[in-house]
Amino acid sequence: MEPLQALRKIFQEAGELSSADELLHLIVTRVKEATHSDVCSIYLADEERDDWVLVATEGLSGEAIGSVRMRTGEGLVGYICKHQSLLNLEDGSKHPNYRYFPETGEEHFAGFLGVPVISFRRVIGVLVIQSYETRCFSAEEEAFLITIAAQLAGPLKTVLSQEKLAALTTEDSNDQIKVQGIKGSAGISIGKVHFLAPFNDLATVKDERCQHPDDEIIRFREALEDVKLEVQSGGDKLASSVPQDVHALFGVYLMMLDNDMIVKQTEERIHEGFTAASALRQTIDSHAQEFERMDDAYLRARAEDIRHIGARIYARMSAHHHIIDVPDEPVILVSKLLSITEIAQFPPDKLAGIVCMEGSSLSHTAVLANALGVTAVMGIGDIPRSKIDQQLAVMDGYRAQVIFNASEPLQLEYRRLIEQERKLVRGLEKLKELPAETTDHHRINLYANTGLLADISPGLERGAEGVGLYRSEIPFMLHDTFPTEDEQTQVYREVLQAYAPRSVYMRTLDIGGDKALPYFGFTEENPYLGWRGIRFTLDNGSIFLTQIRALLRASIGINNMKIMLPMVSRVEEVDAFRVLLDDALTQLREEGVEVKRPSIGIMIEVPSAMMILEQLAKRVDFISIGSNDLTQYLLAVDRNNPKVSSLYNFLNPAVICSIHRIVRIAHQHRLKVSLCGEMAADPAAVLLLIGMGIDTLSMSAFNLPKIKWVIRTISRTRAETLLTKVLALESEDSIREVLEAELIQAGLAGLIRAGS
Ligand code: PEP
Ligand code: MG
């Protein structure tokens, strides 16, 4: 069999499996088959024990799984790991490194071919085939196994990263299990696991026909009404604990429950003869899949809401609904997916954390957890209930890690961190009313990034002095069609009013790249180098003009708005925008609406804009550095691509040197400079930005207090010295090391964890 054919078969069958050991078993079975060998085995790294363990075999005795272990350099497998190269031996037992394990029964086998499985330059395991016959494997067989090992590195890495190994090789449910998930809500927590078993899974409902459609309709409608009441009461319970805009999420659920698409289509399917459950499953599937197909991550995450709604209605219909017992002490809730209504059934003081086996950081579950200040980790993958329920777990929301059945010393360490964090938060609250000023009295403006109306109040509550980046594409992304001028005017005005008289930097539509509009699809070979930001809006003049008019109208009588252009890469773009702005102002004047001309600025996100900054500077009133895109384009790294994302680092010397240059040139032209990418929220990077003399930092509201603390702790002179030192360094690691040493010395050690 060709390697590709064998691989295709493995990947096809793997889709149907639900556990890591099934996957490992599938691999050894199929590889043994395809190579016509007598044994195929996989060894994987066990980092906890610092050795290599046999995790699957077809041909050796099954009892050896989990018990045959070798250190690096020990035995043939250890030899392969140490030298990172394959071994092809006509008789393995003759090799000087051979070590005999009686439990394997391998004395029957002579021929041995082992290849390392390498992921991102690190050996993570070894794939071995063996034969009864005394013979070397052929060059073709070698090539086959190398190809298979290279392709399986990804899946095997996943097995390892979820540390299923511990669960695989032991039946002892008290073993510590550490899992890596996706960030949901920051924080550190410790508590007993409260496992919420999913109700009967709607996804497993088969297409069944019914006898009495009218009865099914009644069942469906009653369930729908019950869920509406449930959502309503969930919302009421949390009304005083979360900001109004997060509370509005419950309204979104209610709207979905009233949505014709769900109600009507389900009822139509019942009339076609399906049971209520089958009809509901079909409707929910088709809507959720529509969202799941979308490129935009935010919209994709909305599929979760639809599935939650479906699950709730189904639970009510199948009478599996039960009132959740509220525990006496704070617990870590663990489930496959948790909806906001399920979370609302727990008083916030009884929630130590939230862990979902599925889900993303953009889910409303994560939004609610953030608003409640509850640590949340999403997408950890399947874990059997029996191994974790009622056991103690610790959560590190900063690193998106959960450790179930945590050992005593680990618990102690985490309790110490929790105490440290409590002190940090208490200290930060006191800073709210104080200015962001260095110890030698240099003032820096601290602004919030927003895009959702839901983000307005957290910014104000945390002392934001304005909005440094309003991502106007977000309201566009939440619509079904391009929002009208009036609709846009209304949304923009709400933000401007909420912050007045503080400044709001409205960025014009920045779609393209990873941000797509569901109603204006286009595919590109290379979207990040394609129709993005100002390129898109200038080519779609009427959309742009409508937005500019809406922005101008929204600011009438408030006058705190500035307009900022994304993805500028050439002077002609700014000139073309100025013509459009003039047109919009003239039009409005002719319509009898007098509007003041706002300040205009550009984002520096593309290297070419940085190189022609002098020419651009003559045309604008301010500069804002988009460090996310600038880093990606300078380093040619897509940070959403897992193969290269580890190379994405804004502390790279090239990025630091570029930002320093931008600030210098802007100041020479007497322009204020802000920075509004993620870098603005990194305490270590902020030390450098203070040293460069940055005027404004804009970040998500959550990060404002800690960055204010950094600014108020250091002097500008000290930051300048640090900058000089860092500009002479050549690697990202050495730069971070110097900056973190400075944070520790300044008494800001607690922020190193929070910033990472
Ligand atoms: C940036 O690129 O740094 C930025 C703030 O813009 P966005 O993240 O919205 O692309
Ligand atoms: Mg950007």
Residue 166, pLDDT above cutoff 70 = no
Average pLDDT for 89-102: 93
The per-residue pLDDT for range 139-151, each reduced to its tens digit, is 888 888 888 888 8
For residue range 503-515, list pLDDT tens digits in order: 999 999 999 887 7
Predicted pLDDT at 321: 54
CA distances from 281 to 277, 285, 290 (A): 6, 6, 14
Tokens at 264, concatenated: 């009507």
295 band by pLDDT with thresholds 50, 70 and 90: low
Residue 165's pLDDT band (boundaries 50, 70, 90)? very low
Q: Which fold has domain 3-168?
A: Beta-Lactamase (3.30.450)
Residue 129 has pLDDT above 70, yes or no: yes
Q: Is there a catalytic annotation at residue 676?
A: yes
pLDDT computed for residue 297 by the predictor? 66
Give domain limits for the chain. Answer: 3-168, 177-197+323-429, 202-317, 445-517+528-751
- Tell me: the pLDDT tens digits for 192-233? 999 887 656 787 788 889 888 998 999 899 888 888 888 888
Which of 194, 308, 364, 660 is the catalytic position? 364
Cα 471 to ligand 1 centroid, rounded to whole Å:
9
Output the CA 653–ligand 1 centroid distance in Å: 20
627: tokens are 């460090």
Confidence of residue 445 (pLDDT cuts 50, 70, 90): very high
Which band of pLDDT confidence, cut at 50, 70 and 90, is reported for residue 347? confident
The 10s digit of each residue's pLDDT in 423-443 is 777 777 788 889 999 999 999
Position 385, amino acid:
R
Q: Looking at the domain 202-317, which fold is it?
A: Enzyme I; Chain A, domain 2 (1.10.274)
Percentage above 70 pLDDT, the chain: 92
Q: Are strands 351-356 and 375-378 parallel, antiparallel or unpaired?
A: parallel
First-to-final CA distance of the chain: 47
Q: Whose CA is nearest to atom 10 of ligand 1?
A: 629
Name residues whose C-beta falls within 8 Å of residue 225's C-beta, 6 or more positions apart in sequence. none
Mean pLDDT of 722-728: 98
Which residues are found with C-beta within 5 Å of the ion, ligand 2?
605, 626, 629
CB atoms within 10 A of CB 209: 10
Q: Ligand 1 in contact with 677 (CB < 6 A)?
A: yes
**H or E segment to which residue 659 belongs:** helix 653-668
- From 471, 476, 477, 658, the mutation candidate for ligand 1 (largest count of ligand atoms within 8 A of CB) is 471
Kindly state if the Cβ of 185 falls inside 6 Å of ligand 1.
Answer: no
User: Residue 303 C-alpha to ligand 2 middle, in angstroms?
Assistant: 25
DSSP 484: P
Of the candidates 99, 667, 708, the one whose C-alpha atom is nearest the C-alpha of residue 464 is: 708
392-396/599-604 β-pairing = unpaired
What is the pLDDT at residue 754? 47
What is the per-residue pLDDT for 312? 84
Cα Rg of the chain (Å, integer): 29
Residue 626 CA, closest ligand 1 atom number: 3
Query: pLDDT tens digit string along 537-579?
Result: 999 999 999 999 999 999 999 999 999 999 999 999 999 999 9
Indicate the pLDDT class of residue 2, thresholds 50, 70 and 90. Answer: low
Q: Give the ligand with the smallest distance to the CA of 567.
A: 2
Q: Is the pLDDT of residue 47 over 80?
A: no
- C-alpha 516 to ligand 2 mean position (Å): 14
pLDDT of residue 167: 45
Does the domain spanning 177-197+323-429 belong to CATH 1.20.120.420? no
Kindly state the average pLDDT of the residues 580-606. Answer: 96
Residue in 534, 659, 676 to alter for ligand 1 test, most ligand atoms within 8 A of Cβ:
676
Task: Compute, in angstroms, the gap from residue 481 CA to the centroid of ligand 1.
Answer: 24
Pick the closest to residue 452 from 680, 243, 300, 674 (CA basis): 243
* Cα separations in angstroms, 245 against 166, 301, 333, 453, 483: 42, 18, 24, 7, 20
Q: What is the mean pLDDT of residues 475-492?
A: 87
**Is position 212 annotated as part of the catalytic site?**
no
In which band, very low, low, confident or very high, does the pLDDT at 755 lie, cut at 50, 70 and 90?
very low
For 663-704, how does the pLDDT look when each residue is reduced to its tens digit (9 = 90+)?
Answer: 999 999 999 999 998 899 899 999 999 999 999 999 988 789
What's the pLDDT tens digit per position in 515-536? 778 788 788 989 999 999 999 9
Read off the pLDDT band of 246 (50, 70, 90).
low
pLDDT at residue number 475: 81
Which CATH fold topology does 445-517+528-751 show? TIM Barrel (3.20.20)
**Cis, bond preceding 607 (omega within 30 deg of 0):** no
Using a 6 Å cutoff on CB, does residue 533 contact ligand 1?
no
